[in-house]
Structure 1
Amino acid sequence: MDASVLLAGNPEDGLSLWFSWELTQEDLEWPRCDDQVMLMAYFPDEMFEYPAYYKVAGAKRKAGQDVLEIPVAMAGKSMEVYIAVIAEDRSDVSRTQYLGRIVAPDVT
C-alpha cells in the first residue's frame, strides 16, 4: 500500500491526521475492498498513561482516505505515524507501514 499522511487543523481547535492511500483495481474488488485500515500516532517522548492515539476499525480500503483526530493537549509534541490494513473477517493483517515523524504545531 502506498500511503501518506498530512497534519491539518490548528492547536486551539484540534488537530487531524489525514491519511490517504493509492488504490489499485484489485483494491476496489471483493474481498479486498472491504478491508479496513488501522491508524496510529505514537508519542514516544511522552510519559503518560496513553502515549498513542489510534483507530483499529478505520475506513474501508476502497475509501482511499481516513482521519485520525489528535487531542489539543498534544500540540507541540512529536508523533510517529503508522498505517496497516486488516481483512474484514480479521483473518489477515498487513505489515505496518511507517509514514514518518510529524511535529504538531504548538499553541502560541
Structure 2
Amino acid sequence: MEPGKNIAIKVPLYRWDETVAFYRDKVGLKVTRELENSTGFSFGSMTLWIDRVPHQSQTDVWIELFDDAPETALAALGTPRRDELEPLDGVTGHWTCDPAGTVILLRKNA
C-alpha cells in the first residue's frame, strides 16, 4: 500500500465557506479545481479537497491509499467494507475505515 493522491475534509454546510476561505486566504493554498460541492487545493504532491456535505453535523477527514489488489489489501487490514459511504463510479476499490473511524478509500491507482 502507498499514499494516494487525495485527502478530503468533509465539512458541514454551515462551515464550508469559511473553511474554503481559510485554506485559500489564510493558509495560501492554490485552488486547482472548483466543483459545485468541492474545492480542490494543491497540497504538495496531493490534492486537498474541501467537500460540502449538507447532511453532516461534524467534520471528517477522508484519505486515499493505493494498492494493486484492493480486495486482498482490505482483507489484510481486517477493516470493514464501507462502500455505502459514497459511490465508487469508475474506481476499482472499496471504502473502509481505520480503528479511529477515519474513512479510507482503498483503491487501485488508475
TM-score, structure 1 normalization: 0.26
TM-score, structure 2 normalization: 0.25
Write 1 or 2 for the structure with the bigger share of helix: 2
